[in-house]
Amino acid sequence: MSEENRGSLRIPAHIAIIMDGNGRWARRRGMPRTFGHSQGAKVVEEILEDADHLGVKYLTVYAFSTENWSRPQAEVKALMNLLRRYMKSSLAKCTKNNVRVRVIGDKSMLDKDLQDAIEDLERNTASNTGIGFQIAINYGGRDEILRAVRRAAAQGLLSDPEKIDESVLEGCLDTAGIPDPDLLIRTCGEQRISNFLLWQLAYSEMYFTDKAWPEFDHEELLKAIDAYNHRERRYGGLTD
């Protein structure tokens, strides 16, 4: 893409990414799946920086789903250890780069030390004013909606059916206060949303690439944003 075309791109305010293909990328190179996850974590940092420089206001990544617990125990353990290291190493970087971090998903199932690391990272970056970075851990879209309904019920928000509207439920979602994604990117050739942000993706544009996540780079991000620029977003209405 030429520099002229890059300068004319309309940048999505919020990009969500399903980071698929770490394990397959590693296997193709004769390496263990855990190697792919480690490489994928490095790409997360690079894309977060790229998105911030481009003017993206929010970036949300799917790191570990509620279904991922069914993977081999050794891989789950390796992923949890990778997340531990990432939470601890991210504090200095996010503070320096003015990144605000929020972890979405059911954190109650995570080990206490990981919960503590997440809480520490969220608390220490809460006042940052730069890009909002959401990391989905033990996250499932259906689970989020169920938890939101329970939260709304516990707060007495469902007692009067006539007063229940979208804003009631949105205010109880993990992403409360964050605009819905404008663009969803999924890597490694799959074309489904896999229980990710079911409520929030209602009118998001979607971009699918055959590149595995460890191969995803700045140029591929620009391609996704360029494709987004060629979409006509009507939100169910008509333009003429």
The catalytic residue positions are 20, 68
Q: Copy the structure tokens of residue 175.
A: 């992403």
Torsional sign, CA 224, 226, 229, 234: negative
Residue 139 dihedral angles phi and psi, to the nearest 5°: -115, 140
The three state secondary structure string of 21-41 is CHHHHHHHCCCCHHHHHHHHH
| Residue 82 exposed, middle or buried by CB count within 10 Å (0-12, 13-18, 19+) | middle
Q: Copy the structure tokens of residue 55.
A: 């003017």
DSSP conformation letters of 179-197: PPPSEEEE-TT--S-TTSS
Identify whether the C-beta of residue 72 lies closer than 8 Å to the C-beta of residue 106: no
What is the pairing mode between strands 132-139 and 205-208?
Answer: unpaired
